Structure 1
């Protein structure tokens, strides 16, 4: 339980030589580092089963902490995934569920949305975002307008142009040197840790890596070092970055009081990932399932593995609880507190998770079953529902979603379909923003 963690952590620190974590009303508040990679498959690290990408630092963190095997991004592409992660709400609620934001988009994350960094800052945390934002470039959507004290990074995906590197509100490179991005992100996060470690103030770092989104770049030291091409090389460098951060925390005496979470914004851009069907932008499991590794001394049992389903919408309520921050009570929050899963628990707080394709529900999942309503063939959307051919997958028997068992379990299809209609009445039809595909100047 969280209470036992807090008591154990406080007791262990009485005789420690390292700096004490910040307390408020007897509540030990951890520093938090949330690492969000871009388009990384759930199995694309050695601890997750990859034979071709060696990630010793992530493996070590997993050995010391907890792995959630059935953890999902909240959308199958960048912008809605990030909106949901930072608000604890499905992206349809913030109007950002359709497609992604482009350099010429005239909107972003609404000011009315309450974000994870904003509630942490209100609770006394110093907050930093390093890396990819992708929630709008209009003034009201800037990271500094949504709860972050510091911003060092890029405004959107690295396949868009122009692609500037920004510090606070200033463009410091018109075109970022992408071969150095991972290293520079790491340096910025390390500098923030060094400045905050000696203060009586907890800190939150949201490190949103640019890679392994395409086009792929890595610094010279990592080129050709994996057995998975440039894709693997970028993950090797991200793993190196994790090692640098963990060493910095240790050097400054705050490793024991810092929660690190490692995940990704959606599935990989290539066809499929090991053991899971689908890819980024698809409606099958591989579009949404992402890696999840977490470690905090005294909270995450060493080597724990939970197969309970969870989603990135759960991070805001979970981190709010651990930080002693207040969640908003004036709006629906779709996320749930998954502290019990960080402690190795096996029971999800969700009865059902919802998977969107743009602003339409594409699938729903219970712990055992996944009902898929739409899929793709080449460039065509196939609305399975309209053909009376929904797909039902038994994830306990075939986690790879290869066999449709809808005809074998009509009662399950009926039950999930009834649940689906209730969800649609709440979540579909909400107003959305969308960027036209034609660029400015196009006829």
Structure 2
């Protein structure tokens, strides 16, 4: 077993770096997929230096809810967002009274930073005399640009959610408006417009900052992350930091930059994964160069499973490995994701854990590690897995159950090897999304993942007692 942080004589709590990839599938991590067509040497190296989880899940099979869960330790269906995602102009999803992980770390003396895709809603400055927001603001068609003062401050965003420093995009890189926001101010107002782009690039047309291109975003975000690490090294070496890096890849648009084009055997999608992996490598190299690596916990994971519309199958690559389904689906391919933790001197190098964990658990785990107090009522769906990291609970589970959620709002609950879904379809991108319930027929599905990890044999009718137990447990969790 590795030494504890206390036994290593550290003078301050560890720094925290969380990298949350966008649509990075379970099989896109090369060391986790022997048949991968995509090299990921930096993430593979990180896994060799730390712990790789094989049963890690997001609270939702799409991005906004997962990001909400990471920051709040709450399942997003407890908020106003009970299905789907937010859009570029959506209002903030995190209520001001809900504790966030960066705010908790601030109170514990940490310097906090968020860099990359935000996608949790913003309160834009409004033009004087502007009309109310359109009622369809949380849809792809909601466009209140005529009402927004892009020269004014952003009133609520990452800078009001606990981050001392922030450099973000409003939402995904296929959702307008396309502009950078630094510490609550738009860097360059989006006074130009771009047209829709066809696949494989694919973005929606709309306002864009002059000089900004979609391809330029990832290099800029990586640069900003590395510059934050250098700045902290130069100016605040006695203060611990937490940096959340939210890259835009491998989500659409699939446009890897020139150094990465052709570097995978999986077309534009695979080349984007290579570029994402290189960004992770740049951050790791900067931690080494600044002497901060030894006392920094690095977590690399994804906000949901891979979207399979990027043509991966045509290259013989299984982005979600052997898992059934894809992004948005209630099946494992929608929410089981890569999850790597490196904590030098504490996590034994090259270890693999089958502990079941959820993205919401990062909140309680980090608070546990640094000794921060979670406010009463905060992070209700978060369970610390620190004991898994330091080896104290090796071979045991720290969670009783995990709740999953699909794009259309279908629920599932995982308890031990059992997984019950409240719907008959996928609830997401894969057909059929919905299946009509027949008279006296099953209303959901039941799988035993220990015996049937690919979710092929529905046991709903064969195990009525287990169905009833899981339905009661899910109802209890939802009612808390």
TM-score by structure 2 length? 0.81
Over 3 Å counting, the alpha-carbon distance change for 1:201 and 1:95 in structure 2 is same
**Residue 178 (structure 2) aligned to one of 136, 140, 163:** 163
Cα deviation for residue 347 of structure 1 reads 2.1
CA displacement, residues 79-135 of structure 1 (integer Å, 9 cap, x when unaligned): 111111100011122323332222332443211111111111111111110100111
* Residue 256 of structure 1: aligned partner: 294
Task: In structure 1, list runs of 5 or more residues that go unmatched.
Answer: 11-20, 24-28, 427-443
Cα deviation for residue 352 of structure 1 reads 1.1
Map 1:114-193 → 2, pairs under 5 A: 114-138=99-123, 139-173=154-188, 174=190, 175=208, 176-193=212-229
Map 1:283-322 → 2, pairs under 5 A: 283-322=330-369
Asked if 1:210 corresponds to 2:248, the answer is yes
Q: Distance in 2 between matches of 1:181 and 1:385?
A: 49
Q: Is the 8 A contact 1:64 1:301 kept in 2?
A: yes
Cα deviation for residue 332 of structure 1 reads 6.0
Q: Distance in 2 between matches of 1:332 and 1:256?
A: 28
Q: Distance in 2 between matches of 1:274 and 1:109?
A: 33
Q: Is the 8 A contact 2:83 2:407 kept in 1?
A: yes
Q: Is the 8 A contact 1:83 1:94 kept in 2?
A: no
**Residue 87 (structure 2) aligned to one of 60, 84, 102:** 102
Q: Secondary structure at the match of 2:115?
A: strand
Q: Secondary structure at the match of 1:266?
A: coil
* Residue 146 of structure 2: aligned partner: none
Task: In structure 2, list runs of 5 or more residues that go unmatched.
Answer: 124-153, 191-207, 310-318
Q: Distance in 1 between matches of 2:18 and 2:263?
A: 26
Over 3 Å counting, the alpha-carbon distance change for 1:384 and 1:247 in structure 2 is farther
Q: Is the 8 A contact 2:170 2:177 kept in 1?
A: no
**Residue 404 (structure 1) aligned to one of 440, 453, 458:** 458
Over 3 Å counting, the alpha-carbon distance change for 1:30 and 1:385 in structure 2 is farther
Cα deviation for residue 389 of structure 1 reads 4.5
**Residue 86 (structure 1) aligned to one of 61, 71, 90:** 71
Q: Distance in 2 between matches of 1:230 and 1:388?
A: 41
Q: Is the 8 A contact 1:33 1:258 kept in 2?
A: yes
Cα deviation for residue 166 of structure 1 reads 2.2
Q: Distance in 2 between matches of 1:99 and 1:33?
A: 28
- Superposition RMSD in Å: 2.2
**Residue 355 (structure 1) aligned to one of 400, 404, 407:** 404
